[in-house]
Homo-oligomer: A and B are copies of this chain.
Amino acid sequence: METMKKVIVDMDGVMADVYHQLVEFEKRDTGREIEISDLAGKPEIESFPNGKKHVNEIGFFRTLPLMKGSREAIEYLNNKYELYIVSAGMEFPNSLREKYDWLAEHFPFITWEQIVLCGSKKVVSGDIMIDDYPKNLDHFSGQRLIFTQPHNELIENETYERVHSWEEIMGIL
């Protein structure tokens, strides 16, 4: 039997729609409506001046909306590959349990063995990585898929394969 390839999938900005949540929290606090189409190429910290406060708020990660199509696609990948969910949650210690509970709610077929909450992703290895951040992809020795999010939209790097949606990923993997 052929060994299944290891696929490493990021949570924030890939499985979970962080931009949508940050827009909603900004509107709730200040009434300001941020247009996502205005944010292309800007770092997240510039796009959301209150973002740092919001991501540290209890419940921010627990209530993140799903990225469109992620549930079906993750189930598809989980049946076809050795799948690992790898999230850099260590910067926000409140997020650790919230991320665990969020996965249990939306992806109940993912087992605890498949979850990694880390700081740096430099010690994570596998065959395929799907991530929205170059800092994570750049240390990875396998196939690199960059999931389009406003902050990375203008980045051109031929070592990444750019994907715009979960539907597109299912067509490739």
**Chain A residues in contact with chain B, CB under 8 A?**
6, 8, 82, 84, 86, 90-91, 93, 96-97, 100-101, 111-120, 122-126
Q: Are B124 and A114 in contact (CB under 8 A)?
A: no
Q: Please give the count of copies of this chain that the complex contains.
A: 2
CB of A69 to closest CB in B, whole Å? 24
Most buried by B among A82, A100, A123, A124: A123
Return chain B residues, CB-CB under 8 Å to A114.
Answer: 119-120
| B119 A116 Cβ-Cβ under 8 A | yes
A116–B112 touching, CB < 8 Å: no
How far apart are the CA atoms of A122 and B93 in the complex, in Å?
24
**A125 CB contacts on chain B under 8 angstroms:** 123-125
Q: A112-B119, A116-B116, A117-B118 are in contact. List 18 more A-B contacts (CB 8 A).
A: A8-B123, A84-B120, A84-B122, A84-B123, A90-B100, A90-B112, A90-B113, A93-B97, A93-B100, A93-B101, A96-B100, A97-B97, A113-B120, A116-B117, A117-B117, A118-B118, A123-B124, A124-B124
Would you list the 8 A-B pairs with minimal beta carbon distance, nearest first?
A113-B119, A125-B125, A96-B96, A90-B112, A116-B118, A113-B120, A112-B119, A117-B117
